[in-house]
Structure 1
Amino acid sequence: MIERPVPDEYVEFVGEQRATLRRLADEARAAADAGDLAALRALAERLRLQIEDGDDRVYGNLEPHLGDIVADLDALYDAAFPVTDPDDVSEVLAAPWPSAHRKALLAACLGCDVRHRLLLDDVAERAIAAADTRLLRLLVLTPLGFTQRTVVARILDALHRAGDLDAAVVERAFTDDPWLGRATHGDPPLGCADALRDHLDELTWRLVSASPPADRDRLPQVPAPRGLRFVRAALTWHGAPEVADHLGVAELTGPERATLLDHLRGRPADERRRVFGWRLSAGDAEAFLPMFGLERTAPLLRLIQAMPADETVRQDRAALLAAVAEAGPDAARRLLELVPNELVSAAMGWNRAAVLKRVKRNALQGIAAFGMLPLAADETVLDRYLALREIAKRGPKLGPNRRHSHAAAVSVALDHLAQVTEFADASRLEWDCEARLGNETPTEAEIGDYRVELRFDGADPTLTVARAGRALKSVPAAVRQDPRYQELREHQKRLQDQARRMRTGMIEQMVSVSATLQPDELSRLLSLPAGAAMLPLLVWRDRAGTIGRLDQIDTSGPVTAVHPVELRERGLLAHWQAEFERRGHPQPVKQVFREVYVLTPPECEAGEVSRRFAGRTVDGKVAGRLLAERGWFTHGEYDAHQATRVVGDGLIAALRCDFHGYFGMGEVVVGEVRFLAGGRRDGGRYGCPTGSGSVGGTPVPLADVPPVAFSEVMRDLDLVVSVAGQEP
């Protein structure tokens, strides 16, 4: 192998690192000659961290130039820690240095190629089941192989149950993975969580007290440290600001908060603001409002702190206004200087210009805040509603996942607008505004000798221009330039948008999930020109089970848009297909001619997993776009599943794929799909996804998945492999 040259800017650093490592290697050789295995273990850890840190600092330009030193260390440690039984994984792992020989032995134990990642999860699972504490400790302490974070957390928990959890194991685990606390102190926390805290506090204190102190990314990230000593250290910190920020959020007791508050009285404003910022992150900032004279703003602060930072969700406008009133406008403004909040400011109408700028950039919180703004003096509710619909039209042009969060932000904004305009909910606001589009705008005009009319051809609005009772094939220039014609053209576009929203949004979703409409909902939809044109072209089921068109069933009760799966099960699919072919009226969306997918014998035998499309290679960019259009979220290559979609009834469809990087980067190999129960992801009206919450849950047998949900998921994936598929 030809060694690539060191970039000029790193030559001096690499030379210094080689010299340091050579000195440590010499120390290791002296320890080996003296038979001091404890010193060899300690030096191995120093060597490993020195190489890792140095390589990070020069972006991978150190390790390629350490071949001679590493080879010497491999030989030294293989001789000092010989393996007598290469089939004993415990003995293989019991080495402080990851020599090439040791890696080869481990690969043989695992039955894999040494060039692949040596994953120890299966070994760990067996050790946990057997309560083999020696092997469990080795799995944490060994520099060989890789164990996933959640498995390491379970190892610590097993050691805790066995009474063998000590500082050495905890510190090594959190040194290797400073974010390990996400797994140990999650929701719910593991049984070892409390036992870990003392060890982590002492590790953090030692690292920040060292000379020089550790960088921020070397400190345990979760959970936060405990104790006033950490906040005091943050106040006098002269190193990297991010370390001070980490220490400043330390968990405090009530007496410690009181002591800190007393200390801060009379301190410079900048220092008090800095501490308040830390305590906002820590979650106890309310206790520090008195140092600003803002005690009465506590209810408003609680509302602000309850708002998720990374998600756009509905807020109660009345509660926000009440909290501002209790605090007083001046105090509320002073609190917002400390804790800027776009939604609170919008509810008061204090940041209209800033919100409008943010909306132009498709900022999600800005869109939600736009709905919360009071109506301007010259603005109607229909104006704001149409503006939000124009914003919604930008969503499909965004990235696969971004389009979903954008749609969710618009949905939240509509809910906020309903509160501003005193509608009972967003649905009633939508019904009212959509009805106004068809009823409150002129549909005809007399322009000189010409008569212009807006008519409906089914669901599609058309403009006709006539003179002396005769329709013209083209629009005269004098008519096109008239403001009244332009107004009708704008109204036509709005009604076309209304028809599009109803067809591709509401009706498509209703058919895909076999949704039910109550009589008042049906009546409102039929009052719209697009609804009156499209709904009678669907097949419905009434509360008595009768299937037919709207004029053939009982509409005094709830009616359900029939999915073709049900028509097939009842032996009616061919009949309705023939009926629509005979009538020659195309449906607004695919219903009776919609593709139907049922369980196959291999899927019945497989139980919880369908491999119907497994192994198919698709263009990731095209596939990601198609999935996004159908409500799927795509995830990273290391997630449990690489694409997920809400399918109703508390179920999430979860697809596994193989690719490198992210979904749209290149080729994607489709894998197996399963359905998970209990996974959390918010669902909107008619099952539309409105958020990107966490995905989890228990696999459900395919035979227990509702047939409609199963058919729709398979329909999505069939489309993806058909359109985005690549030849092998």
Structure 2
Amino acid sequence: MFDDLRAHLAALDGPWPTRKRPIATRTATARPGPAAAPPTDDGAPGAPGVPEPTGVPDVPAHGLGGDGSLARDVGGYQAVLTIEDPLTVRLTYVGADGYPLPTVPGALKVPHAAEIRELKALAKGVRGTLADERARAEALMAADGRSWRHGAWRREWLDHPVSGAVARGLIWEFQDPDGVWHAATPGESVLVTVDGRALPVPADAAPVRLWHPARARPAAVRAWRDFVIDNRMVQAFKQAFREVCALGPDEEGALRSDRFAGHIVRYARLRELFRERGWRPDHRGRLHGGAPPAARRVLGGGWRAVLHYDPAEAAGQGDRVVTGHVRFERRDRRHWSRAGLADAPPLVFSEAMRDVGLFVDAASIAADPDWPDGEDRHHLHYRREAAFGRPGAAAEARRAALERILPRTRIADRCALGDRFLDVRGELRTYRIHLGTAHVRMEPEGTLLRVVPSRRKGQSGLFLPFEDERLSLILTKAVLLAADHKITDEPLLRRIRTGL
């Protein structure tokens, strides 16, 4: 089956533009935007007249040049270390023929072993710093009032060899003298707006902040998503396609949210996600013989989100927990006091609830690829309901990406995108791929089709606007099933033909 997948993945490589960084074409005109952000607790400027914050992080440059690269001569070769984009650091060796080699040439391994080890260690250090800068930038998405002076922003972010690779893949907002914010991304020596115009160079004292879709109009969000796709813009994290969680009508005036309560998730996977997203679980919970367990994440402006969860009730389910309610706390000097959902700043609320939604999306047993073939039959009703139920915000982001990706593929005429499913018309059957779990149903009887493709990264060569394993899985399955008559994997083919 894996050979079938690799053979059909080429169908996804559509007519993409070749450039990765946009180039402005004409002068921008001012457009109204959100109001200026207030100053933060740490003195970060939200408006002219506020002093610059102290404590600028000392981010190592690792000896890289302004373009994020470094070259050294090693025994007749030139070793080139380059930050290609916010996610990729490449170390290559260029010989006399001018072609880069991704591995160490045999002629260098013994006589230049010490230099090779030093270069590998340097590449590892650059990757670590780049990962730290990605995390630092994404943490700003919850900091509603965090901003810089334009001059300081250039020094701290744009002109830094490592931080600049992160900054150039993101969307920022720049405030003009009238207090209007304009969104733009760094291009080739200019700031480029969503319509491809050059934003006038801001004054050194002009405030700069990170763009968040929760502050933008829906039309602007859609335009930036198109921009990211059209320019193959590699973002350090999901920004343009970021999930936005707003306060619901039933949550106004409430002290807790049950929006994500009642989901059964794998505890080991949940703990991994806690570490990745900066949540700290309480080890004294019922899972360990104490009070009800919870995990907490400290966000910007003295706010903290709390997620409660409990062990699954079914016997022998020690590795599974049931998600509970989410609440917010505000720092009062040394203590935390409970606050209402509506009291939390919109970006704090959105980022915290987004995290919990991602926990459910990634750790729910409904997304288990072994379902329903596993030995455990507990919680079967939940699995059946959640596996093909109404998807969450993460699935909505996948849908938005698929809307822009599918028309560029060779299977576009065989696909139809709905609210919950991607429908794929093959030669033998029609298939429905769920946008939340990536599970497949065969029409017309709705039988589950278990398809487990290869998980090797980078084999399709398809540009995706953000890293999401399930989005890749949906596209991979769609390509395979659109040409179901060419499948050579006999067990899979028998399952498809059953009932025909």
The SS at the match of 2:138 is helix
Q: Is the 8 A contact 1:480 1:486 kept in 2?
A: no
- Give distance in 1, aligned partners of 2:91 and 2:213: 36
Contact 1:438 1:528 in 2 (8 A): no
Amino acid at match of 2:71: E
The size of the alignment, in residue pairs, is 283
After superposition, the Cα gap between the structure-2 partners of 1:427 and 1:436, relative to the gap in structure 1 and judged at 3 Å, is: farther
Superposition deviation, residue 710 in structure 1: 1.1
Query: What is the CA deviation profile of residues 278-328 of structure 1, one whole-angstrom value per residue up to 9, with x for unaligned ones?
Result: xxxxxxxxxxxxxxxxxxxxxxxxxxxxxxxxxxxxxxxxxxxxxxxxxxx
Alignment of 1:422-437 (within 5 A): 427=56, 430-431=58-59, 434-437=60-63
Matches within 5 A, 1:69-148: none
Are residue 438 (structure 1) and residue 64 (structure 2) matched? yes
Is 1:644–2:296 an aligned residue pair? yes
Deviation at 1:611, TM superposition (A): 1.0
Greater share of helix:
1
Question: Contact (CA 8 Å) 1:564, 1:592: kept in 2 or not?
Answer: yes
Tell me if the contact between 1:445 and 1:485 (Cα under 8 Å) persists in the aligned partners.
Answer: no
- Taking the TM superposition and a 5 Å limit, the aligned residue runs for 1:524-539 are 524-539=156-171
Kept in 2: contact 1:678–1:696 (CA 8 A): yes
Q: Are 2:126 and 1:495 equivalent residues in the alignment? A: yes
- Residue in 1 that maps onto 2:84: 457
Contact 1:627 1:633 in 2 (8 A): yes
AA aligned to 2:338 is: T
Q: SS at the partner of 1:499? A: helix
Q: Following TM superposition, by how much is the alpha carbon of 1:640 offset from its aligned partner in structure 2, in angstroms?
A: 6.8
CA distance in 2, matches of 1:679, 1:724: 34
Q: Which residue of 2 aligns with 1:509?
A: 139
Q: Read off the aligned partner of 2:329 and give its amino acid letter.
A: L
1:558 has 2:189 as partner: no
What CA RMSD, in Å, does the superposition of the two structures yield over aligned residues?
3.2
Q: Deviations over 1:397-429 (max 9, x none)?
A: xxxxxxxxxxxxxxxxxxxxxxxxxxx98645x
With over 3 angstroms needed to count, the CA separation of the structure-2 counterparts of 1:445 and 1:670, relative to structure 1, is closer
CA contact (8 A) 2:296 2:304 kept: yes
The one of 321, 332, 350 aligned to 1:668: 321
| Equivalences for residues 377-392 of structure 1 within 5 A | none
- Which of 445, 467, 470 lines up with 2:98 in the alignment? 470
Give the percent of matched residue pairs that are identical in Structure 1 and Structure 2. 28
Q: Please name the residue that 2:428 is paired with.
A: none
- Following superposition, the deviation at residue 576 of structure 1 comes to 0.8
Q: Which residue matches 1:585? A: 233
In structure 2, the partner of 1:287 is none
Residue identity in the other structure for 2:158: L
| 1:698 lines up with 2:338 in the alignment | yes
Structure 2 equivalent of residue 717 of structure 1: 356
Instruction: Describe the shift of the 1:488–1:697 C-alpha distance in structure 2 as closer, same or farther (beyond 3 A).
Output: same
1:583-608 deviation line (CA, Å, top 9, x unaligned): 1222121101011111222223x622
**1:707 equivalenced with 2:370 (yes/no):** no
Q: What does residue 28 of structure 2 align with? A: none
Question: Which has a greater percent of strand?
Answer: 2
How far apart are the structure 1 equivalents of 2:292 and 2:54?
37
> Which residue in 2 is equivalent to 1:620?
267
The separation in 1 between residues aligned to 2:347 and 2:54, in whole angstroms, is: 29
Q: 1:448 to 1:666 in 2, by over 3 A?
A: closer
Counterparts of 1:649 and 1:425 in 2: how far apart (Å)? 16
Measured at CA, do residues 511 and 696 of structure 1 come closer, stay the same or move farther in structure 2, by a change above 3 Å?
closer
Q: Tell me, in whole angstroms, the C-alpha distance in 2 between the residues paired with 1:624 and 1:484.
A: 39
SS in 2 for 1:655: strand
Distance 1:442 1:578, change over 3 A: closer
Contact residue 454 and residue 462 of structure 1 kept, 8 A = yes
Deviation at 1:447, TM superposition (A): 3.5
Query: Which residue is equivalent to 1:567?
Result: 216
Q: 2:331 — aligned with what?
A: 678
Structure with max Cα Rg: 1
User: What is the CA–CA distance in structure 1 between the aligned matches of 2:309 and 2:78, rounded to whole Å?
Assistant: 59
**In the aligned structure 2, how far is the partner of 1:562 from the partner of 1:445?**
38
Measured at CA, do residues 487 and 719 of structure 1 come closer, stay the same or move farther in structure 2, by a change above 3 Å? same
CA deviations 1:33-85 (Å, max 9, x no partner) are xxxxxxxxxxxxxxxxxxxxxxxxxxxxxxxxxxxxxxxxxxxxxxxxxxxxx
Q: Is the 8 A contact 1:538 1:587 kept in 2?
A: yes
State the 1:568 CA deviation: 3.9
Instruction: Supply the distance in 1 between the matched residues of 2:230 and 2:203 (Cα, whole angstroms).
Output: 25
Q: CA deviation at 1:574?
A: 0.9
Instruction: Give 1:555 shift.
Output: 6.1
How far residue 670 of structure 1 moved from its aligned partner, in angstroms, is 1.6
Q: 1:715 to 1:555 in 2, by over 3 A?
A: farther
Question: Is the contact made by 1:437 and 1:494 (CA closer than 8 Å) also made in structure 2?
Answer: no
The 2-side partners of 1:447 and 1:670 are apart by 55
Aligned partners of 2:324 and 2:78: how far apart in 1? 60
Change in 2 beyond 3 A, CA 1:533/1:472:
closer
For the Cα contact (< 8 Å) 2:56–2:156, is it kept in 1? no
CA distance in 1 between partners of 2:117 and 2:227 (Å): 41
2:147 and 2:291 mapped to 1: Cα distance? Answer: 35
Secondary structure in 2 matching 1:446: strand
| Separation of aligned partners in 2, 1:651 and 1:456 | 35
Question: Are the equivalent residues in 1 in contact too, given 2:172–2:210 (CA < 8 A)?
Answer: yes
Matches within 5 A, 1:110-259: none
* Structure 1 unaligned blocks of 5 or more: 1-423, 682-694
Once the two structures are TM-superposed, the CA of residue 521 in structure 1 deviates from its matched residue by: 4.5
The alignment's TM-score, normalised by the length of structure 1, stands at 0.36
CA distance in 1 between counterparts of 2:224 and 2:100 reads 40
Query: CA–CA distance in 1 between the matches of 2:157 and 2:236?
Result: 14
2: CA distance, partners of 1:500 / 1:555: 30
SS at structure 2 position matched to 1:624: helix
Q: 1:488 to 1:708 in 2, by over 3 A?
A: same
1:547 aligns with 2:179: no
Compared with structure 1, are the counterparts of its residues 640 and 462 closer, same or farther at alpha carbon in structure 2 (3 Å cutoff)? closer
Q: Distance in 2 between matches of 1:654 and 1:680?
A: 18
Q: Greater RCO between the two (CA within 8 Å, min separation 6)? A: 2
Residue 234 of structure 2 aligns with an amino acid whose one-letter code is P
In structure 2, distance between residues paired with 1:699 and 1:446: 60
Change (3 A) 1:623 1:467: closer
